[in-house]
Amino acid sequence: MKGIILAGGSGTRLWPISRTLMPKQFVKLFGNKSLFQLTFERNSKLCDSQFIVSNAEQYFLAIDQLEELQKENNKYLLEPIGRNTAPAIALTCLALDKEEVVLVTPSDHLIKNEIEYQKVIEKAKELAKQDNLVTFGIKPTFAETGFGYIEADSFNVKAFHEKPDLETAKKYLELGNYYWNSGMFCFKAGVFLEELQKYSPEIYDACVEAYKNASFDNDLIRIKHNDMMNIPEDSIDYAVMEKSKKVKVVPSDISWSDLGSFDALYDELSKDDDNNTLNQNHISIDSKNNLVYGNERKIATIDIEDLIIIDTPDALLISKKGSSQKVKKVVAKLKKQKSELTNIHLTGHRPWGTYTVLEDSDGYKIKRIEVKPGKRLSLQKHFHRNEHWIVVSGTATVTVGDETKLIRPNESTYIKMGEIHRLSNEGKIPVVLIEAQVGEYTGEDDIIRLDDDFKRGENK
């Protein structure tokens, strides 16, 4: 059995912890591991190999986090733009043998009962070998209005139901044969493609064309932007599962959560004696039942209850528990203001390393840049800023124009606006430097890439 891990995501429901370029599946929330890492480890026990579907930015996050687990030589499918789950799964299935059974899972779900998880996967695999499309129905623990439901009779699906109102959700809970739709699936690659062709031929045809035109580089498949745009956007539920006559459901009691809100996250985190989430930076005086998240500063609370406090270096969120679904309204306002706060943290991850914005003001920006051993930035130039580089540790190989030289700790160099330049780390330890940008515009999109080891397009 092959695993397909869907690793895309916009990173808005747990803002400001998650951002577009650092969605929740890559944030280390549990035991210094991310949900993506936990998903990979969980599925590695059941699958021969795994296919990770991602966009270009998250591809490098995935590689870094799997290197931490010493899990390399995986396969990747890169989407230049997301078109929902049906195309993502179809494009991956096109790369597999038609008889191969695949397990499709999101990368941002928490599953705590792994023994039961392995049991339901084995049952799903058995049904999939009989040419069924299998989904997993989570046994509900309360009347949830934020999930779709599956009405079942044993392993047979009677109907799919949209997100209900509260009264309907209570009725589903009482009846006992209604399950939360988990977004996990198991089937033969060829059976899924046949059903997609039957019920959503436009998606199938566009995916076949996109896959035919894709570029193949060892274990990496890159879909071209225009081909991806030509694929109709739709979920696997709407495109196939709700229409097919071959659908089965495996009822699953696996301690599952999609962590779709801070309220859901609160339920899963460890608590102190006053039911505040455990946090070494939190000083609590007569405060109870609070979610307090923050790794940078001390957070002191006095006489407060039932609050969500999320502190990050560049944004602070305070909400009543029970209202955290409204975070999406905050994100919508920030997007309207064209704020970068929805997009990236002060520390940004790149395939060559990281950068942290130390100060950003009119006319200048100061960054701390760390380049991994053996990596280098793209050959690039800027139209709106000059740059000063001061090396703090390691030895940087710097190319400016036609000149290449070594810059050692406490040495510096200057890159004039418009000059072609590159920074490389040819040593064995990380290169750390301070970059001071000076110019009328210091946005991240003022980059023209002339050559790039990571095959990123302009501004990627």
Greater pLDDT, 403 or 31: 403
**Mean pLDDT, rounded, for 74-88:** 94
Indicate the pairing of strand 379-381 with strand 364-371: unpaired
**The tokens of 296 are what?**
């940078």
pLDDT at position 460 is 37
Give yes or no for residue 32 having a pLDDT over 90: no
CA angle at 21 for the pair 16 and 26, rounded to the nearest 5°: 80
**The tokens of 440 are what?**
């009328």
**Mean pLDDT, rounded, for 107-119:** 96
Indicate the pairing of strand 396-400 with strand 364-371: unpaired
Per residue in 340-350, pLDDT (tens digit) is 899 888 988 88
Q: Which residues contact 77 (CB under 8 A, 6 or more apart)?
A: 51, 52, 53, 54, 88, 91, 92, 95, 221, 223
Q: Where are the beta strands (DSSP E) in 93-234?
A: 101-106, 110-111, 133-138, 149-153, 156-161, 178-188, 215-217, 220-222
Q: Which residues contact 216 (CB under 8 A, 6 or more apart)?
A: none
Give yes or no for residue 289 having a pLDDT over 70: yes
CA angle at 294 for the pair 291 and 300, rounded to the nearest 5°: 70
**Mean pLDDT, rounded, for 278-307:** 96
The predicted model scores a pTM of: 0.87
Least confident of 27-41, 56-70, 105-119: 56-70
**Mean pLDDT, rounded, for 131-145:** 94
- Paired with 101 in beta bridges are 188
**The tokens of 27 are what?**
């944030």
Task: Provide, rounded to the nearest whole percent, the portion of the chain with pLDDT above 70.
Answer: 99
Q: Is the dihedral of CA 409, 411, 416, 422 positive or negative?
A: negative
Rounded-to-integer distance, Cα 406 and Cα 7, Å? 38
Residue 63 near residue 18 (C-beta atoms within 8 A):
no
pLDDT at position 344 is 86
Per residue in 382-410, pLDDT (tens digit) is 999 999 999 999 999 999 999 999 999 99
Query: What is the residue whose two structure tokens read 């999109």?
Result: 445
Query: What is the residue whose two structure tokens read 């709407």?
Result: 238
Rounded-to-integer distance, Cα 66 and Cα 118, Å? 22
DSSP for 13-69 reads TTTTTSBTTB-GGGSEEETTEEHHHHHHHHHHTT-SEEEEEE-HHHHHHHHHHHHHT
Per residue in 221-237, pLDDT (tens digit) is 999 999 999 999 999 99
**Mean pLDDT, rounded, for 182-186:** 96
**The tokens of 42 are what?**
């969980």
**Mean pLDDT, rounded, for 142-162:** 93
Query: Which residues of the chain does CATH 2.60.120.10 include?
Result: 347-451
**Amino acid (one-letter) located at 30:** F
Give yes or no for residue 317 having a pLDDT over 60: yes
**Mean pLDDT, rounded, for 18-41:** 92
Give yes or no for residue 458 having a pLDDT over 60: no
Per residue in 405-437, pLDDT (tens digit) is 999 999 999 999 999 999 999 999 999 999 999
| 381-415 per-residue burial string, b: 16 or more CB within 10 A, e: under 16 | bbeebbbebebeebbbbbbbeeeeeebeeeeebeb
pLDDT at position 457 is 59
Query: Length of the chain in residues, anyone?
Result: 460
The count of C-alpha atoms lying within 13 angstroms of the C-alpha of 133, restricted to the half-sphere facing its C-beta, is 22
Give the fold, CATH level 3, of 2-257. Answer: Spore Coat Polysaccharide Biosynthesis Protein SpsA; Chain A (3.90.550)
Query: Which residues of the chain does CATH 3.90.550.10 include?
Result: 2-257
Q: Which of 353, 375, 373 is nearest to 435 (CA)?
A: 353
**Amino acid (one-letter) located at 400:** V
| SS3 state at 207 | helix
Give 347-451's CATH code, choosing from 2.160.10.10, 3.40.605.10, 3.40.50.300, 2.60.120.10. Answer: 2.60.120.10
Residue-averaged pLDDT of the chain: 94
Give yes or no for residue 65 having a pLDDT over 70: yes
| SS3 state at 125 | helix
Give yes or no for residue 9 having a pLDDT over 80: no
Task: Provide, rounded to the nearest whole percent, the portion of the chain with pLDDT above 90.
Answer: 85
- Paired with 192 in beta bridges are none
Give, as one character, the DSSP assignment of residue 24.
Answer: G
Most confident of the ranges 62-66, 73-77, 119-123, 140-144: 119-123
| SS3 state at 359 | strand
pLDDT at position 73 is 77
pLDDT at position 459 is 37
**Mean pLDDT, rounded, for 256-263:** 93
**Mean pLDDT, rounded, for 209-230:** 95
